[in-house]
Structure 1
Amino acid sequence: MSTLSSPAETGRTGDFTELVRLVRGSGLLARRHRYYAVRIGLNLAAFAAGWVAFALIGDSWWQLAVAAFLAVTGAQLAFIGHDAGHRQIFRSHRANDAIGYLHSGLVGVSYQWWVGKHIRHHANPNHEEDDPDVDIPILAFFQAQAGTKSGFARWTTKYQAFLFLPLLLLEGLNLHWAGIAAAKNREIKSPLREAAVMVLHMAVYLTAVFLVLSPAVAIAFIAVHQGLWGVYMGCSFAPNHKGMPTVAPGTKLDFFAKQVMTSRNVRGGRMVDFMLGGLNYQIEHHLFPSMPRPNLRRAQAIVQDFCARNGVDYAQCGFFASMGAVLRHLHAVGAPLRNG
């Protein structure tokens, strides 16, 4: 996939204020309190039911099915934390943060670390220097980045298309550790509070698992739970930008071009909407990050029509096609290292 290096490469992007007017006039920026009340209630009920089942089943290998179920509920909780971080649920920062801290605490992720990282991503999606989501030590997302790798990272970059999905099994652990590291290094505003929440989560989680399960089953439970949660989270975010054009340092793009031309939507109907937490409408989400999740589907028709009228590419494909594009891109980026 290409690198955007000059404004001329973006084509004619039109007047973004016109699109804002159309979206606001359709009422799509209005809060959806009833939707989120139902969604949060169902998510918390499912999460609680999973742990009740865990307690009732006891020391059994059937707990691996419970681990898989909890991986799914954990991702759904994380999606609510994502929406809260974008102020999609309430207009009040304090109310959104309360929901965000609750859900982040339940899955063991630092809310402040994630919000800070995600804000930087939204400000500069796929930017080769400024987007933290393309700065992963053992992977490369553009050719210049691949050339900087050495040692073990150079080897993983060579074969990153084959390693990408297996590496996602570690993404859950990475999310936990990144928050702990940010608190330890005081990279967030309230490091002690964030560290306390994560330590409490870990203590309760490990105590419950090793108290109820024998060591072998406990280790298998943790591996399945954290591994599948990591894969789920990675597969929810990776299709949205990976394999789309990256933005070279020094390139000046208007907001509309920067958000649309680096993003990809994932088709698939209501089931995909649910499984990906609305992140499948990535273009609309990046243009209107505070738009409530259930309104993104309705906004899509407006945004797609606006792009067509202004000659802007609107990337969209099915889930498996999007993952295929991600893997082909990773394979192409690693090619010079394999052939060198």
Structure 2
Amino acid sequence: MTFEGKPESQLYLGEKYQAKEKPIANGKARLSARQKAKEKCDLPRKSLNTYTWQEIQRHNQETDQWLVINRKVYDVTAWADRHPGGREVLNHYAGEDATDVFRAMHPDPDIVQLYLKPLLIGELAPEEPNQERNKNSQLVEDFQELRRTLETMNLFSANLGFFFLHLAQVLILEALAWVIVWHFGSGWLVTMFISCLLTVAQAQSLFLQHDMAHLSIFKKSKWDHLMQIFVTGHLKGLSAKWWNMEHFQHHVKTNIYLKDPDINLEPFLVIGDLQPVKYGKNKIKYINYEKQHLYFCMVGVPLLMPVYVNLKSILAMYRTRAWKDIAWVSSFYIRYFITFGPFYGIFGTMVLIYLVKFLESPWIAYVTQMSHIPMKVSKEENQDWFSTQVLATCNVEESFFNDWFTGHLNFQIEHHLFPTMPRHNYHKVAPLVKSLCAKHGLPYVNKPMLKAFGDTLRALKKSGALWKEAYRIHPQT
């Protein structure tokens, strides 16, 4: 759930929906807005209506959405369509406590208070607990204390040099590929070599794009916004708006059926324990799901980036008429044609682009799937934020290669708990998260990379076996 974000739909807070304030043009003005928001929150208020959790939980429909943040009750129904992070993430938390997810997804929650203030309708009754009664209040309190500790340690501040080095890595690799083909020609060996260089650049661009979606690196939203659409559109050739809407849903309801788009892979794959049984009972057989782990390797892995991701991005831009994204994605292809067109021609350059995406696809497929597919996949259980993320994610062991190969997404647990934390700080946080897991009896799963790859296939094979068993024993209805 993000009231503050980067792409066009995640409007620069301070430009479009500024709540009766002047646009924030610089860091000083931004600080002033933050102070003003704090002052408004500190002013004495008229007595607010009070609500019980039972009353709040009834407002969980798309046309009637209430949520709770820090014991305050907000009616976000009318705001949902303008929500910069997409209406879905608000709908996913309707009728629930959203305190931790709100804090997790907003780099600067003080400014967002300007937007929350008009939506405030009341507060929890004094006798009501801070969270719903089914949640572990001690765990929630301990996690919030952990977050305050990390903020005191300044671990949410980004190191500009770190990210500029990663951007430089991408640009140098792309420039080197052009120099090589210019000097040595466009033979097959040269083409394969530069394709490998460009594949590394594309994979690292995706990790950088991922950073831009979550962080306020420059502390000025318009520059963060520009940097993200540059990396996502110009370097990756994808729609920033589409990618963020999908990605934020994944973060706020990780591995939850119908809410996390990353596990809604039907009819191509059935994931977890529930979905395959449902398909089997209903005699649904788009493919032979018993063999889906093999299809994943032979078809899903190589076609993820060049077909599935690119097609979804293009369709989203067309349906939403996202002209800014269309312009930036077009610049990606124009750059390739200008750079490599003189050596390969139009058709050859298109082949080069999709060869690079084809080579990148297995890399990205395994990095993105190995931390979630083998973990808990469930229906909505309305668990606390900490438990939900820890049970739905796993880490891959830390090493120089693993960190670089995954873009530090081998620290998936820490990334999901603290999405706005820069990735160069994950390793500092990991021991504290592991300690909190041990205190509350939660598994902290940390695997070697090859085991993580293998567990992805084993999880798909297990789900396929569940489908086959349900398909076999349930008669046609």
Whether these two folds match at TM > 0.5 is: yes
Equivalent-residue separation in structure 1 for 2:327 and 2:348 (angstroms)? 28
Residues 239 and 326, structure 1, Cα contact 8 Å, conserved in 2: yes
Higher RCO, 1 or 2 (CA under 8 Å, sep at least 6)?
A: 1
Match of 2:317 among 183, 186, 195: 183
Aligned residue number for residue 164 of structure 2: 37
Aligned residue number for residue 4 of structure 1: none
SS in 2 for 1:275: helix
TM-fit CA distance, 1:220: 6.2
Aligned residue number for residue 168 of structure 1: 301
TM-fit CA distance, 1:22: 2.4
Equivalent-residue separation in structure 2 for 1:27 and 1:177 (angstroms)? 40
TM-fit CA distance, 1:110: 1.0
Aligned residue number for residue 121 of structure 2: none
SS in 2 for 1:177: helix
Q: So what's the TM-score if we normalise by structure 2? A: 0.64
Aligned residue number for residue 309 of structure 1: 439
Deviation digits for residues 47-83 of structure 1 (CA, Å, limit 9, x no counterpart): 2212332333322001112112211111101111110
- Which structure 2 residues correspond to residues 1-340 of structure 1 after superposition, within 5 A? 13=139, 15-62=142-189, 63-87=191-215, 89-104=217-232, 105-137=234-266, 138-146=268-276, 147-148=278-279, 154-155=286-287, 157-166=289-298, 167-173=300-306, 174-186=308-320, 191-205=322-336, 209=340, 211-213=342-344, 221-249=352-380, 251-339=381-469, 340=472
Equivalent-residue separation in structure 2 for 1:214 and 1:128 (angstroms)? 45
Deviation digits for residues 173-223 of structure 1 (CA, Å, limit 9, x no counterpart): 22222111001111xxx6011122223323443575564237997676445
Check 1:37–1:206 CA distance in 2 against 1; reply closer, same or farther (3 A cut): closer
Check 1:88–1:169 CA distance in 2 against 1; reply closer, same or farther (3 A cut): farther
Equivalent-residue separation in structure 2 for 1:260 and 1:18 (angstroms)? 17
Equivalent-residue separation in structure 1 for 2:334 and 2:274 (angstroms)? 42
Residues 195 and 356, structure 2, Cα contact 8 Å, conserved in 1: yes
Equivalent-residue separation in structure 2 for 1:9 and 1:329 (angstroms)? 28
Equivalent-residue separation in structure 2 for 1:227 and 1:23 (angstroms)? 40
Equivalent-residue separation in structure 1 for 2:246 and 2:208 (angstroms)? 17
Of 48-57 and 198-207, more deviation after overlay is shown by 198-207
Check 1:281–1:328 CA distance in 2 against 1; reply closer, same or farther (3 A cut): same
Of 54-63 and 307-316, more deviation after overlay is shown by 54-63
Equivalent-residue separation in structure 2 for 1:13 and 1:49 (angstroms)? 50
Of 98-107 and 40-49, more deviation after overlay is shown by 40-49
SS in 1 for 2:392: coil
User: Unpaired segments of 5 or more residues in structure 2?
Assistant: 1-132, 473-477
Equivalent-residue separation in structure 2 for 1:207 and 1:34 (angstroms)? 30
1:227 maps to a residue whose letter is F
Equivalent-residue separation in structure 2 for 1:10 and 1:169 (angstroms)? 42
Equivalent-residue separation in structure 1 for 2:143 and 2:350 (angstroms)? 52
Residues 12 and 310, structure 1, Cα contact 8 Å, conserved in 2: no
Equivalent-residue separation in structure 1 for 2:334 and 2:349 (angstroms)? 14
Equivalent-residue separation in structure 1 for 2:285 and 2:163 (angstroms)? 42
Check 1:224–1:302 CA distance in 2 against 1; reply closer, same or farther (3 A cut): same
TM-fit CA distance, 1:262: 0.6
Deviation digits for residues 255-312 of structure 1 (CA, Å, limit 9, x no counterpart): 1111111110000412111110010001101111111111011111111112112222
TM-fit CA distance, 1:324: 1.2
How many aligned residue pairs are there?
330
TM-fit CA distance, 1:95: 2.0
Check 1:200–1:38 CA distance in 2 against 1; reply closer, same or farther (3 A cut): closer
Equivalent-residue separation in structure 1 for 2:215 and 2:183 (angstroms)? 37
Residues 13 and 311, structure 1, Cα contact 8 Å, conserved in 2: no
Deviation digits for residues 221-260 of structure 1 (CA, Å, limit 9, x no counterpart): 44531111111111211111111001213x1111111111
User: Unpaired segments of 5 or more residues in structure 1?
Assistant: 1-6
Of 13-22 and 298-307, more deviation after overlay is shown by 13-22
Check 1:284–1:295 CA distance in 2 against 1; reply closer, same or farther (3 A cut): same
Equivalent-residue separation in structure 2 for 1:219 and 1:184 (angstroms)? 21
SS in 1 for 2:396: strand
1:202 maps to a residue whose letter is Y
Check 1:225–1:259 CA distance in 2 against 1; reply closer, same or farther (3 A cut): same
Check 1:82–1:178 CA distance in 2 against 1; reply closer, same or farther (3 A cut): same
Equivalent-residue separation in structure 2 for 1:9 and 1:28 (angstroms)? 27
Check 1:17–1:219 CA distance in 2 against 1; reply closer, same or farther (3 A cut): closer
SS in 2 for 1:278: coil
Equivalent-residue separation in structure 1 for 2:247 and 2:383 (angstroms)? 20
Q: So what's the TM-score if we normalise by structure 1? A: 0.88
